[in-house]
Copies of this chain bind each other. A is one copy, B any other.
Amino acid sequence: MNQPQINPNVSVDCALFSFDGSELEVLLIERMAGETTLEDDLLALPGNLIYQNENLDQAANRVLFELTGLENIFLEQVYTFGDPARITKEKDQDWLKKIRVHPEARVITVAYTSLVKKSNLKVSPSSFARKALWVKVKEVPQLAFDHNEIFTKALDFLKQKIYLQPLGYELLPERFTLAQLQKLYEAILDDSFDKRNFRRKILRTSFIVPLDEKQQGVAHKPARLYRFDKSQFHQI
């Protein structure tokens, strides 16, 4: 089979979010420039040029797989960024010159986002990332290209989405407590809620079903465990 052909004008970038129990985090990479990285380079969202024979969803999944080994993640398209000036920062140009056949090419990028469990994910160095790290969304530094803008848009997208779909099941263990779930909602929406009202509201949906199990070995009253019922997701 031939090497797939690259489309020099279109890339995908992925904003992957995770949850450490109290704060939301985003996956950033140290981008490779050939065999090494540049000094003091900016962090970036994982992303790459698309192949000519794959569609955009496939490209996003491939890029993610190449970096993380994760497959069958539900990535969703967020927005497309196409300002000609988006690749003109000096550090970005330095990097592009090192690794692209056409470093000056106009590149528009289609942003995707997803929520993943950190524990599922073994980040493996790849052709385009030496190292990947989880950064708290409140502590995201200046990023490469227009990735700060992409990151912000992806986070806004999630905030919208969580009202329509129970996204949380991607981020919590299979069995979880309502306190965990509430913290997740609070982290995504950057807000805080009354415990009783949150419980009432979330239990009115049929997505979340109580189990006959309790937490073990905690130094206080153990909480009841719940799980998501995906079969109920389309019955909003």
- Contact surface of A with B, Cβ cutoff 8 Å: 7-10, 50, 52-56, 59, 77, 79-84, 106, 108, 110
Contact = CB atoms under 8 A, between A and B. Distances in A.
B55 A84 contact: yes
A52 B106 contact: yes
B10 A52 contact: no
Given A77-B79, A79-B77, A52 B7 contact: no
Nearest to A9: B9
A91 B7 CA distance: 25
Contacts of A80: 56, 77, 80, 110
B50 A82 contact: yes
Task: Give this chain's copy count.
Answer: 2
B108 A56 contact: yes
Contacts of A10: 9-10, 82, 108
Nearest to A56: B82
Residue from A79, A82, A84 having most chain B Cβ neighbours under 10 A: A82
Contact of A84 (B52, B81, B106, B110): B52
A131 to B, nearest CB: 29
A54 B106 CA distance: 10
24 contacts: A7-B9, A7-B106, A9-B10, A10-B10, A10-B82, A10-B108, A52-B84, A53-B84, A54-B84, A55-B82, A55-B83, A55-B84, A56-B80, A56-B81, A56-B82, A56-B83, A56-B108, A59-B82, A77-B79, A77-B80, A80-B80, A80-B110, A82-B110, A108-B110
